[in-house]
Chains A and B, each alone.
Chain A
Amino acid sequence: MNELLETLGSLDWSPLFITLRTGFFATLVCFFLGVIAANGVMRLDGRAAAVLDSLFTLPMILPPTAMGFLLLLLFSRRRTLGEFLYERFGITIVQTPAACVIAASVIAFPLMYRNAMASFEQIDPDLILAGRTLGMKEGEIFRRIILPSAGPGIFSGMILTFARSMGEYGATSMLAGNIPGRTATIAQRIAMVIQNADYMTAGIWVVIVLLTGLLLMWLAGTVYNQVSGRRGHW
């Protein structure tokens, strides 16, 4: 007991804030990109839709370390895009807090995209066609017909995105590294303290992520059921 209080008292809380910050920005990025991507795919037919759909789901299927490697290739200062960003704007991505957000966004993106897509697919296409024959503009149709119907699905997608980006480890460790106070997220801190056989600290962090996770899932479930509701159970 004393040991627990002692560890808690001397705990470095920075991973919690870094993780929450990463989660917040990654969710923001994924919300816009995911909804835009799903909206775009819904307007396509046949082959193009299938190809884009696979592409957008890819980060969910690849090992996060493989995605991290690809991202490293993209943003490394010795590669074209990384070099361009540095030379032109003085921006470094690798080993910075921005890298945490990028890695988490890429890995969590499919969750947002899939959820947005699933809720768009639930909408009767005749509603959109009706809007068009009535003279409504595409933006108006999206804002007033599509979004309200898809709202609950998009919201639960955001919760899952937030949860997933909080737990991101593989791609983050490759692109952002584990710099204490800068890019060290909870997931990376747990891995590190376990390597140092500091099981008490690891345990504390596990309890923290467990509680946050449960809270998020409860929130997602409550809101989803309140707004749309399940039709029944099997």
Chain B
Amino acid sequence: MNFNAHILKKYKGFDLDAEFSFKGNRAAILGASGSGKTMTLRSVAGILTPDAGRISYAERVLYDSEKKINIKPRDRHVGYMFQSYALFPTMTVAENIACGVRNREEKKTLVPELMDRFDLSALAGRKPKELSGGQQQRVALARIVASRPDILLLDEPFSALDSSVRDTVEREMEDFLETYPGLLILVTHNRDEAFRLAHEVAVIDRGRVAACGDRDEVFAHPVTVAAARLSGCKNYSKARVSGNTCILTDWNIEIPLDGQKKDFDMVGYRAHDFLPVWDAADPRPGLPVKVHRISETEFERQIYIDAPDGSLVTWSVQRDLMAKIEREGMPVKLCIAPEKVLFLQEE
């Protein structure tokens, strides 16, 4: 079932013009903070009214400015999980979940059923304040499921959680999603979350959709700098075409060009794709290694190198390579594999 949206909204100095569509039922909107992703999600739920545009799911039009259609949020059957969960503070867990039940007769059976399913039965009489972050999220989810949504919108669902419980909650969410038949749209700034929970991704940057499509495609072959950045690519250089070569001007490197690519003005290169070389005579193009700083985590080391233009280039070194560096010292050069270069557009 297709989900299509074109949302235009000017709001508090921000200009949103996002057009995207999803074919499957597991989607993510990926964007940095302030990119307009929450505004987009709120428009889908109907709790923010766009200035113009159109939103539809399957055969159902939720919003159409031209046809003056604007279905009320309560009739959209769109479940929205707020970043802070928005549990009703004066009500107990059971009462919160009961608020989602639309059908009066169902209240008696559905609430206990959901509390059992989300492992909340022991907490039925508690107030939201007395719950942990993970428990609060389960209540929010149970409450939404009670309202039987066709579309489930999750706004940064794990951002309010401590990193210690995050993994558990994410796994629970994955388990739940396996049983949920409707459309999921997840909003996040975290590419790993998007990767784990969604099959399709729309990348949003400064109010515009920079890329939209299959997750693997968007991550492997981003076409804009914004999309590349959100896919985790750390290094960028300005670039221009000169005959059969591409000149990476910031890094002072020339690489051969296969002739197909031409619409680009930037290139991206992932931090773990560099090929270290210890032989100064190696003819392949690369960056001379001038170490600026080394930052270490348990399994990985980030080595920051001064590029010719003065910017920093990040090189991720895995554990086995760390051992080699400890034995043989720093490589003299980081070579670039031409097939791994991302050709990008600035905007």
List residues of chain A with CB under 8 Å of any chain B CB: 124, 126-127, 129-137, 144-145, 148-149
Contact = CB atoms under 8 A, between A and B. Distances in A.
Given A126-B84, A144-B99, A133 B89 contact: no
B88 A124 contact: no
A133 B84 contact: no
A129 B89 contact: no
Interface residues of B, number: 26
Interface string B71-92: 0111111111010101011110
Given A132-B73, A134-B147, A135-B100, A127 B47 contact: no
Contact of A131 (B89, B90, B99, B146): B99
A137 B75 CA distance: 10
Contacts of B74: 132-137
A135 B146 CA distance: 10
Contacts of A149: 89-90
Contacts of A134: 74, 79, 99-100, 143-144, 146-147
A127 B88 CA distance: 6
A28 B47 CA distance: 34
A130 B91 CA distance: 14
Contact of A126 (B79, B86, B99, B102): B86
Contacts of B144: 134
Contacts of B147: 133-135
B27 interface: no
A75 to B, nearest CB: 41
Q: Is the interface of A mostly helix, strand, loop or mixed?
A: helix
A133 B78 contact: yes
A128 B90 CA distance: 13
B203 interface: no
Given A126-B84, A149-B89, A133 B79 contact: yes
Contacts of A135: 74-75, 77, 100, 102, 147
B45 interface: yes
A127 B128 CA distance: 13
A160 to B, nearest CB: 23
Contacts of A124: 84, 86
Interface in B145-187: 146-147
A138 to B, nearest CB: 9
A148 B99 CA distance: 15
Nearest to B95: A144
